[in-house]
Structure 1
Amino acid sequence: MRLIELYKSVQGESSFTGVPCIFVRFAGCNLRCSWCDSTYTFQGGKPFTEDEVVAQIEALQPCPLIEFTGGEPMLHERELLPLMQRLLRDESRRYTLMMETSGERPLGEVPTEVHKIVDVKCPGSGSAFGSFRMSNLDALTSRDEVKFVLRDRRDYEFARDFIREHLQGKVAEGTLGGILLSPAFHQSPSPLRTADNMELDARDLVSWMLEDGLPARLSLQIHKFVWEPQKKGV
């Protein structure tokens, strides 16, 4: 498997926001979202064996929360799934595993114990729009969350309609853990740690959420307020 970086920080989004976390960032992505903040993952990286990844994770303990991200981690499915199973079997560490994925790759083989954060790409994502694999809805569990990154009102309306048609019932039944609405950040943000770096004003987004009564969570990527928005490895 090829990794870009492996480091310890705090979770910046999802229901684990603010919790210390080890990030295992894979190289490579088959999508090109217009607002992507991880373009440095598209190429490069270093090869790691499963044993080497586990050793680095153990060296960063204590920190039982681990997220696999990218790039797109599911491009490394052949190596990733056995690694997940190995970590889940470690009863002495009792790891909690997360994975951030685009939802373009099949997710049915991912262990159900893993908390999946699955993106549904909105129109503003550009060429990635429409890439979500609808059959992945059947792979979602009460541990999982679906995320929408929003650039404008059009993106919000797409997310709202998708939620109402495909996700609202799952939240009500308790078969989906949650829904995240996240304003996109400018690709060339200022070094200031302010909300001005977001393309969509969070006040507008909150107003729309309240007006429509969506069963969703506002997600602001807190790591981009704790550190400078362009800083990597945090």
Structure 2
Amino acid sequence: MRLIELYKSVQGESSFTGVPCIFVRFAGCNLRCAWCDSEYTFTGGKPFTEDEVVAQIEALAPCPLIEFTGGEPMLHERELLPLMDRLLADEATKYTLMMETSGERPLGDVPKAVHKIVDVKCPGSGSAFGSFRMSNLDTLTVRDEVKFVLRDRVDYEFARDFIREHLAGKIADGTLGHILLSPAFLKAPSILRTADNMELDGRVLVDWMLADGLPARLSLQVHKFVWEPQKKGV
């Protein structure tokens, strides 16, 4: 498997926001979202064996929460899934595993214990729009979360309609964990740790959410407020 970086920080998004976490960031992505903040993952990286990844995780202990991200981690499915199984079997540490994925690749073989954060691409994502594999909805459980990154009202209305048609029932019957609405950040943010770097004003998004009564939560990338928004490895 090829990794860009492996480091310890705190979770910046999802319902785990603020929790110390080890990030395992894979190289490579088959999508090109217009607002992507991880273009440095598209190429390069270094090869790692499963044993080497586990050793680096253990060196960062104690930290039982691990996120697999990218790029797109499911491009490394052949190596990733056995690694997940190995970490979940570690009774001594009792790791909690997360994975950030676009949902473009099939997710049915991901271990059920893994918390999947699945990103449904909105029109503002550009070439990635329409990439979501609808059959992945059947793999979602109460551990999982669905995320929409929003640039404008068009993106919001797409997310709102998708939620109402495909996700609201899952929230109501307790078969899906959370729905996240996240304002996109500018591709060239200032060095200031400020909400002015968001493409969509969070106050406006909250007004829309309240007006429509969506069963969703606002999700800000808090690491871009703790550190300079362009900083990597945090």
Q: Which bin holds the TM-score, normalised by the shorter protein?
A: over 0.9
Q: Could you tell me which residue of structure 1 aligns to residue 162 of structure 2?
A: 162
Aligned to 1:3: 3
Match of 1:21 in 2: 21
What is the one-letter code of the residue matched to 1:32? R
Q: Which residue of 2 aligns with 1:115?
A: 115
Q: CA deviation at 1:202?
A: 0.2
Alignment of 1:1-234 (within 5 A): 1-234=1-234
Question: What's the Cα RMSD here?
Answer: 0.2
Instruction: Say which SS state the counterpart of residue 190 (structure 2) adopts.
Output: coil
Q: Which runs of 5+ in 2 are unaligned?
A: none
Deviation at 1:182, TM superposition (A): 0.1
**Take 1:224 and 1:174, find their aligned partners in 2: how far apart are those partners?**
31
AA partner of residue 167 (structure 1): L
1:196 and 1:226 map into 2 onto residues whose CA distance is 14
Q: How far has the Cα of 1:128 moved from its partner? A: 0.2
The number of residues matched between the two structures is 234
Q: CA deviation at 1:186?
A: 0.3
Q: Segments of 4+ in structure 1 off by > 6 A?
A: none
Instruction: Structure 1 unaligned segments of length 5 or more: list them.
Output: none
Residue 164 (structure 1) shift:
0.0
Calculate the TM-score normalised by the size of structure 1: 1.00
Letter in 2 for 1:224: K
Q: Secondary structure at the match of 1:127?
A: coil
TM-score (norm 2): 1.00
**Between the two proteins, what is the percent identity of the paired residues?**
88
Aligned mates of 1:174, 1:70 — CA distance in 2: 29
Question: Secondary structure of 1:22's match?
Answer: strand
Aligned to 2:127, the other structure's residue is in SS state: helix
Partner amino acid, structure 2, of 1:178: H
Cα shift readout 1:79-121 (whole Å, capped 9, x = no counterpart): 0000000000000000000000000000000000000000000
Deviation at residue 135 of structure 1 after TM alignment = 0.1
